[in-house]
Structure 1
Amino acid sequence: MLIVIGGLPATGKTTLARLLAEHMGAVHLRIDTIEQAIVRSGLASQPLGPTGYVVGYALAGDHLRGGLTVIAESVNPLAITRDAWRDVGTEAHVPTAEVEVICSDPIEHRHRATSRSTDIPDLHLPDWQQIIDRAYEPWDREHIVIDTAGQTPDDSLNVLLRALHDGRHAGENHWR
């Protein structure tokens, strides 16, 4: 199974993706990690454009064809990137769940953005203004939305697990 987690920075994507991967015994594939490794290699500098995503698609496909569940986590701001993730799942013949993580409380979201630190060496985190100014296309199809505002990470995980369970029982190949 492929579970694609997207959303603006500081909404809780990484925390949720890690918890879900641990719960499911899945591979957590993080585009920030891929992109920063490319930058550290000295072969490229930010902005990388689609490079990190293209590497992520290839890695996800390999893991899925190897029988592993993949949690692919990135901002995923454009419809073209969301479509590409779905294509990865289709080509690997696995169901794909699309998840958008939001933080509906702007005060809480801003606090997260201004108080967080990174675990990826040399990764520059966007400031609040960069987050709110970021190009982020609305999702144009049904998908799972997890609002992390006012919830613990475990609460958000439980909401996501229920949504994934409900989608699976509906017998769909793609969760919406």
Structure 2
Amino acid sequence: MATLISFAGLPGTGKSTISRALSVATGAVYLRIDEIDAAIWAIDPDRDIDPESYHIAAALAASNLALGHTTIIDCVNPWAITREIFTAAAKRSKVRILGVETICSDPVIHRAKVEERTMDVPGLEKPDWQKVLSRDYTPWATAEVRLDTAKLNLADAVGEIERHL
């Protein structure tokens, strides 16, 4: 049965790395909010997107879920209201939603991941450490899977999610 796997977590906690590896391991469709944002900003760099890209991703997810494809949403997904967008898409599609939150409990490791990563989405600006620290983000208390990337390697993180599918 198809599942909507919705990621959440601050920048630099490993969401994209884990999401891509999970997509390869499972064949799930991979949807990345950063790609949607970059496409919109390429047309209108000054546009205020707000939750628009989340609604676009939810619609694309629902289309793939209707075809029976497990779908991964890769985004910061910072608040209950954004998480509800994906929950509603799963409900409309009559599939299960699996919430996955990534954290990095070691601030030294987390900062290094933020500062050393290369941006792989053309047109997106790499956030600096201070922007990550000041980001408005509410932990996802009801996420079924919580991954601490300071303690888990990539294979173990993917395996943990697969155990919940």
- Normalising by structure 2, what TM-score? 0.93
Cα distance in 2, alignment partners of residues 161 and 68 from structure 1: 15
Aligned twin of 1:113? 114
Give the equivalent residue in structure 2 for 1:99. 100
The Cα RMSD (Å) is 1.4
Q: Once superposed, which parts of structure 1, at least 4 consecutive aligned residues long, lie more than 4 Å away?
A: none
Cα deviation for residue 50 of structure 1 reads 1.0
More divergent stretch after superposition (153-162 vs 121-130): 153-162
Relative to 1, partners in 2 of residues 1:22 and 1:6: Cα closer, same or farther, differing over 3 Å? Answer: same
Report the counterpart of residue 152 of structure 2 in structure 1. Answer: 151
Which residue in the other structure is 2:36 paired with?
A: 34
Aligned length: 163
Whether 1:78 aligns to 2:79 is yes
User: What letter matches 1:6 in structure 2?
Assistant: A
SS of alignment partner, residue 158 of structure 2: helix
CA distance in 1, matches of 2:144, 2:12: 20
Residues 127-160 of structure 1 show CA distances to partners (whole Å, capped at 9, x for unaligned) of 1000010000232425210111143211221222
The structure 2 residue matched to 1:22, chosen from 21, 24, 44, is: 24
Alpha-carbon separation, structure 1, partners of 2:143 and 2:64:
26
Aligned to 1:89: 90
Q: Which has the higher contact order (CA 8 A, sep 6+)?
A: 2
The residue type paired with residue 21 of structure 2 is: L
CA deviation vs aligned residue, 1:55-88 (integer Å, no higher than 9, x gap): 1111111111121110011000010011111110
Structure 2 Cα separation of the partners of residues 35 and 106 of structure 1: 27
Inter-partner Cα distance in structure 2 for 1:55 and 1:115: 30
Whole-Å separation in 1 of the counterparts to 2:37 and 2:29: 17
| CA apart distance, 1:92 | 0.1
* Secondary structure in 2 matching 1:129: helix
Alignment-mate amino acid for residue 84 of structure 1: I
1:24-63 correspondence runs (5 A): 24-42=26-44, 45=46, 47-63=48-64
The whole-number CA distance in structure 2 between the counterparts of 1:46 and 1:149 is: 35
Structure 1 residues not aligned, in runs of 5+: 166-176
Q: Determine if contact 2:8/2:140 at 8 Å carries over to the other structure.
A: no
Q: Which stretch shows the higher mean deviation, 71-80 or 60-69?
A: 60-69
Separation in 2, partners of 1:4, 1:142: 9
